[in-house]
Amino acid sequence: MNRTGMRGRVEGLGWGILGVLAIVLLWEGYKFLGPADGVTIGAVEGQTGSGFMILPRTHDRAMPHVWDMLARLVAPTSGGDTPPLIATVAIAALTTLGIAAVGWVLGVAVGGALALVMQRWQLLEWGLLPWIVVSQTVPLIAFAPVINAIGNQIDRGGTSWPQWLSVAVIASYLAFFPVAIGALRGLEAPDRIHVDLMRTYAVGYWSTLRHLRLPAAVPHLLPALRLAAANAVLGVVVAEVSIGMRGGIGRMLIQLAGQASSDPAAPWGPIFGSVALGLIAAGSVALIGVGLHRYRRGEATA
């Protein structure tokens, strides 16, 4: 279904818009037709709060209309003279994006270095790869306070280490994994016959790396970089919340959700912001692939 080229992209965008519209229709449709108290299974008569709710209440306070959400975006953030919500969201999103970018660069560097080392020496691949895979089962939030504490220590010791840098390091933990795996797969991708060919040319490791392994790795590396960007964004949002960092979109998500009973449409602002954030991050990385067409001939779309 994946067609390359401009036409394919415009078509994809068109379908995407249709899809979003379909979701909006579902939302409003449920609001219109659904039961006012939502759908609860296993509720006991007379016992409020029992049972398990699987569909939410259709009340405007629980489920604001889509147009209310949009209207809220242009209304002032905290009433009065404060800038519109959309501006506050944008600034918070940009802050998060910036930190995510730093985290991404760190993650790509570490992941790439690990992949190179693992491809070169099989002993290291066997020793490190299982731990790299397992590393992602450790929840990020376990490390967040530790890294933050170490960062504070460094900062107090003299070298400047702002809090956002700790957040970036935490985000890089999520970002390095897809790069390590994808780059390793890509570096090992060349056929035996190409490796033999390079051997007949009596060129060493670095020349083979430059002329064979790196070009062959491109189609594996690009989706990995995209995934790393999405992971970096996620990492920053989670780290912001667990450290309690101000200024990013993570804090905003929780803050506004806490006020949702008085201002039900407001929490959707930072949610839209997060969506945009993820899309922009992935899109920016996709730009890297532009101009690398030569290396993607015969690439199977992931």
Site for other proteins in 172-201 (CB under 8 A): 188, 190-197, 199-201
Residue 297: CB minimum distance to other proteins, A: 5
Q: Does residue 130 touch other proteins according to CB under 8 A?
A: yes
Among 42, 204, 262, 291, binds other proteins (CB under 8 A): 204
What's the CA gap between 128 and 149, in Å, rounded? 27
Q: Does residue 123 touch other proteins according to CB under 8 A?
A: yes
Among 34, 56, 76, 98, binds other proteins (CB under 8 A): 56
Q: Does residue 215 touch other proteins according to CB under 8 A?
A: yes
Residue 139 C-beta-side C-alpha neighbours within 13 Å: 6
Residue 58: CB minimum distance to other proteins, A: 10
Which of these segments, 28-36, 108-116, 149-157, 162-170, binds other proteins (CB under 8 A)? 149-157
The DSSP string of 217-260 is: HHHHHHHHHHHHHHHHHHHHHHHHHHHT-SSSHHHHHHHHHHTT
**Please, which residue, 14 or 83, has the CB nearer to other proteins?**
14
Q: Does residue 8 touch other proteins according to CB under 8 A?
A: no
Q: Is-contact 236 100, C-beta < 8 A?
A: yes
Among 24, 26, 71, 138, binds other proteins (CB under 8 A): 138
Residues 221-280 that bind other proteins (CB under 8 A): 226-227, 229-230, 233-234, 237-238, 241-242, 249, 253-254, 256-258, 260-261, 264, 267-268, 270-271, 274-275, 277-279
Q: Does residue 26 touch other proteins according to CB under 8 A?
A: no
What's the CA gap between 136 and 167, in Å, rounded? 17
**Which residue pairs from 268-273 have beta carbons closer than 8 angstroms and sit at least 24 positions apart in sequence?**
268/64, 268/69, 268/72, 269/69, 269/72, 269/73, 269/85, 269/86, 269/88, 269/89, 270/89, 270/92, 270/93, 272/69, 272/73, 272/89, 273/89, 273/90, 273/92, 273/93, 273/249
Q: Does residue 29 touch other proteins according to CB under 8 A?
A: no
Alpha-carbon dihedral sign for residues 206, 208, 209, 210: positive
Q: Does residue 10 touch other proteins according to CB under 8 A?
A: no
Which of these segments, 28-36, 71-79, 113-121, 159-167, binds other proteins (CB under 8 A)? 113-121
Rounding to the nearest 10 degrees, give the CA dihedral for residues 91, 92, 97, 99. 120
Residue 106: CB minimum distance to other proteins, A: 18
